[in-house]
Structure 1
Amino acid sequence: FPTRGQVVHAFLTRPPLTRPEGRARATCMR
């Protein structure tokens, strides 16, 4: 499994096609 940092990085580097929920969830995981 990827590390928590890699998961957050993946969320932040995703295109703006993702829902705002994804960004909020990534912020919580940070």
Structure 2
Amino acid sequence: PPPGLPPDDLPRIAARAAARARALLAAPPPR
């Protein structure tokens, strides 16, 4: 893990990124 980042936060960050990507795929922002 990168310095200054607790390993316990990695799963949370990964889940957050996955949810974010899924939301973007489900509802892409209008351009």
TM-score normalized by the length of structure 1: 0.40
TM-score by length of structure 2 reads 0.39
Larger-Rg structure = 2
